[in-house]
A and B are shown apart, each in its own frame.
Chain A
Amino acid sequence: MEKQVILNSKHLELTLNRLCYELIESHNDFSETVLVGLQPRGVQVVARLKKQLENILTKEVQCGNLDITFFRDDFRRREKPLIPSITNLDFSIENKKVVLVDDVLYTGRTIRSGLDALLTFGRPSKIELLVLIDRRFRRDLPIQANYIGKAVDTLVSERVSVEWKETEGEDKVVLFTKDKNE
């Protein structure tokens, strides 16, 4: 596997900062808006966004985590069972604007499951999508993000991994490419 850093820690911080201002542009003071991170990898993105948004706005931003395991479309189609994570939405999303957050947008299937899972909690007035990395031209479903950290063109054989200081030791986004002889 060949490794290529797409975003280093400095760029990642700038990108997150820009996303925060884009969010504020559309959602003002976040009084009617909540951020919902998709388990497992969207959670860390939300945690960072929350911290920065609260710094800028100097008020609390409501955030939650959503597990989509039971809404996935590949149950019984994979070797290993799908093990659920924790859903943590201790507020009502009824009539709220919800921004779904994930690290990488690829086929769009996770987001499709996320939309279904989210609707079991009520009827939001609007749902938007924020992703840190958009793997363009790789969608299986007609799904697009409203806020994009960075768009990258990738092959199916490649893999994008978002790594965090808290979990992997360093903030960065890495593109893994298979060697020609692999």
Chain B
Amino acid sequence: MNNISVDHLTGIKDLTSEDIQLIFKTADSFKEVINRPIKKVPTLRDITIANIFFENSTRTRLSFELAEKRLSADVVNFSASGSSVKKGETLIDTVNNILSMKVDMVVMRHSSPGAAEFLSKKVNARVINAGDGTHEHPTQALLDAFSIREKLGTVEGKKVVIVGDILHSRVALSNIYCLQKLGAEVMVCGPTTLIPKYIADLGVKVSHNLIEALEWCDVANILRIQLERQDIKYFPSLREYSQQFGLNKEILNSLSKEIVVMHPGPINRGVEITSDVADSKQSIILQQVENGVAIRMAVIYLLASKIER
């Protein structure tokens, strides 16, 4: 087996399907490791990783930190609030200052699309994108596809619908790339205002009818409405959105087959998904979170193995 083909993970777009399979195979082993009595391996004991978060995050940040610690890497955390970014320091200056303290890898979340790509060209460290604005969130897409593979045995040939705020979602774009590279069919579903105009050019189906989309699919990935990124009103009210595109138990039970329900979190219960669906046995939301640690361990491991000594 060959090395992963990239030096940085800035987006799924740059990965080959072999890369993704390699990440999955490695993650299988890490999933076994994190279910051992001692959940730690000494592999990255001479690597230091900085988690730089310019945007809020709970799951991704915790998940990355746990992944790093379970690989025995040294970890430093940094969040933009309460830092010198507020005093006017530029992104590259901030990161270079951190790197001069001998950091080998940077995990970054930033509100600007392309921030990770930009950083990877400017600094001397491996960069992992933990979400860059509305662009990509590669590790989320990898863990989503990994969870589908775990639940259904394979991703190839499966039909996956992504429901909700596609326009503002980095999860949607990364998922589309990732699922297509693995041979799945993808549909996006949501109000016309929240579906990007040229999304069909990516080779995805588009639907504005939730029931129709759910009847088509094997897996439904439900996204949150990203109110924090919406500078104008895209729909009349959350209540109306919820009535048209919210997934509830009645709809789920009325379908002709049992589908798998996913959600990248954070969930707005009662808006895009009701509590009884989120907690039902068809939902693999918590498995997604568990797989997130294994996937991130695999990505960090594979990129770290390319750092020269």
Contacts and interface: CB of A to CB of B under 8 A. Distances in A.
A70 B300 CA distance: 13
A80 B3 contact: yes
B20 to A, nearest CB: 15
Contacts of A84: 25-26, 28-29
Contact of B43 (A70, A119, A122): A70
Contact of A69 (B4, B29, B308): B29
A72 B45 CA distance: 12
Given A70-B41, A70-B43, A71-B42, A81 B29 contact: no
Interface stretch (B9-17, B32-40, B77-85, B115-123): B32-40
What is the size category of the interface that chain A forms with chain B? Answer: 20 to 34
A121 B37 contact: yes
Of listed B1, B33, B46, residue having the most chain A CB within 10 A: B33
Contacts of A86: 28-29, 32
Contact of A120 (B28, B38, B43, B309): B38
A67 B38 CA distance: 15
A153 B1 CA distance: 32
B26 A83 contact: yes
B150 to A, nearest CB: 15
Of listed B42, B71, B302, B308, residue having the most chain A CB within 10 A: B42
Contacts of B29: 67, 69-70, 84-87
B41 A76 contact: no
Nearest to B33: A70
B305 A75 contact: yes
A83 B25 contact: yes
A100 B290 CA distance: 31
Given A76-B307, A76-B309, A81-B305, A70 B42 contact: yes
A116 B44 CA distance: 15
Nearest to A80: B3
A71 B41 contact: yes
What is the size category of the interface that chain B forms with chain A? Answer: 20 to 34
Contacts of B301: 70
B40 A81 contact: no
B2 A120 contact: no
Interface of B, secondary structure class, is: loop
Contacts of A121: 36-38
B192 to A, nearest CB: 45
B184 interface: no
A87 B43 CA distance: 16
Contacts of B44: 75
B211 interface: no
A82 B42 contact: no
Nearest to A83: B1
Contacts of B25: 83-84
Nearest to B26: A84
A47 to B, nearest CB: 20
Interface string B207-235: 00000000000000000000000000000
Contacts of A77: 309
Interface in A49-101: 67, 69-72, 75-77, 80-87
Contacts of A81: 1, 3-4, 302, 305-306
A85 B30 CA distance: 10
A84 B294 CA distance: 13
A122 B32 contact: no
24 contacts: A67-B29, A69-B29, A70-B33, A70-B43, A70-B71, A75-B44, A76-B304, A76-B305, A77-B309, A80-B1, A80-B2, A81-B3, A81-B4, A81-B302, A83-B25, A84-B28, A84-B29, A86-B28, A116-B42, A119-B38, A120-B40, A120-B41, A121-B36, A121-B38
Interface of B: 1-4, 22, 25-26, 28-29, 32-33, 36-38, 40-44, 46, 71, 301-302, 304-309
The 8 closest A-B CB pairs, nearest first, are A70-B41, A84-B29, A120-B38, A81-B305, A70-B43, A83-B1, A81-B3, A87-B32
